[in-house]
Amino acid sequence: MAVAKSVRGNDTTSNAYNTGNVTGKLAEDLAARFLEKRGLTVLVRNFRCRGGEIDLVCRDGKALVFVEVRLRRNADYGGAGASITAAKQRRIILAAKHYLVLHAKTECDCRFDCVLLAENTENNIEWIRDAFAAD
């Protein structure tokens, strides 16, 4: 996965997130709040279609942003970003194409971002803008 830009930030959260057992839903909630604090608007959570899913669909100015949220509890096989394989990217791109057609947004600017979290580091979020591109 090519990394264009990476933004790290600290995000303070309620005690519900301070358990070390951050689940996928809590990770998505945390990522959504993180992005909203940085000016993005969350439009849709967990958009699903046949063959793919997008964790968060956001708006950043005039651009639509399709966000993959990854939590990796164990770094033995690489961090959270390592789990976003080429196959996973293809499924996200497929879902984004479905979203654009469904919402008649075929002529808008789009990008694919990733928000990465690791166990016990819920206050340390990595946001990768333009993490990958649709060819």
Domain of 30, CATH number, reads: 3.40.1350.10
Domain range enclosing 67: 5-132
Rounded Cα distance between 65 and 69, Å, is 12
Count of domains observed in the chain: 1
For residues 27 and 2, the model is more confident at 27
Q: What is the pTM of this model?
A: 0.78
Share of the chain above pLDDT 70, in %: 72
Structure confidence at residue 127 (pLDDT): 94
Structural tokens at position 77: 């096989």
Has residue 2 got a pLDDT over 60?
Answer: no
Structural tokens at position 6: 């990476």
For residue 112, what pLDDT band results from cuts at 50, 70 and 90?
very high
Structure confidence at residue 65 (pLDDT): 98
Has residue 18 got a pLDDT over 70?
Answer: no
Q: Average model confidence (pLDDT) for the chain?
A: 79
Q: Could you give the strand order of the β-sheet that contains 124-132, starting from the edge strand earlier in sequence?
A: 5-10, 124-132, 110-118, 63-72, 52-60, 41-49
Cβ(131)–Cβ(86) below 8 Å: no
Has residue 1 got a pLDDT over 70?
Answer: no
